[in-house]
Amino acid sequence: MDDFEFTMDSESTQRAAYRTRIPGLEAALMDSGEAYPILDLSATGLSYLDPDKRHGRGEVLHLDLTIAKRIFLEDVVAKVMRVADDGSTGVAFEGLTRQKELRLDKLILEAQKRLIAQRKKTENQNGKSE
């Protein structure tokens, strides 16, 4: 068996988890009910658009994740990690229960499956038209 060495830069800029977009997914603040469109979602966090930049780095939020205005995940605790100039706000999930992790993982997996199916369909259509 061959020996190999594996090293990883601790300053890596790669994401910790696969990120995806899900149409109609929103983050609603539990205390005010304000809802923000989610730009991308992963198993470890999400980013949402808030042009008014109402939340600051380090702030802890309690969110309901909704799809088409229906609650998908209730009372998700998330800590604001960054706020960009355009208002995109990145948060990291904190203390997700195993049940919430599983629901989130399933949603992300379904989004990945749909993306793969769309790509295959596009490749097949492009291949047939040549």
Q: Is residue 56 a part of any domain in this protein?
A: yes
pLDDT of residue 27: 94
Domain that residue 113 falls in: 25-122
Give the chain's domain count. 1
pLDDT of residue 5: 54
Residue 90 and residue 55 in contact, taking contact as beta carbons nearer than 8 Å: no
Q: Is residue 116 a part of any domain in this protein?
A: yes
- For residue 65, the tally of other CB atoms under 10 A from its CB is 23
* pLDDT tens, the chain, 130 aa long: 455 554 444 444 445 566 778 888 999 999 888 999 999 999 899 999 999 999 999 999 999 999 988 999 999 999 999 999 999 999 999 999 999 999 999 988 888 888 888 888 888 888 755 4
40 strand-pairing partners? 47
pLDDT of residue 101: 93
Question: How confident is the model over 80-104, as pLDDT tens digits?
Answer: 999 999 999 999 999 999 999 999 9
Amino acid at 13: T
Q: Is residue 39 a part of any domain in this protein?
A: yes
Q: Is residue 7 a part of any domain in this protein?
A: no
pLDDT of residue 2: 52
Q: Is residue 41 a part of any domain in this protein?
A: yes
Q: What is the CATH number of the domain that holds 102?
A: 2.40.10.220
Short-list 100, 92, 77, 81, CA closest to 45: 92
Q: Could you report how far apart the first and last alpha carbons of the chain are, in Å?
A: 45
State if pTM tops 0.85.
Answer: no
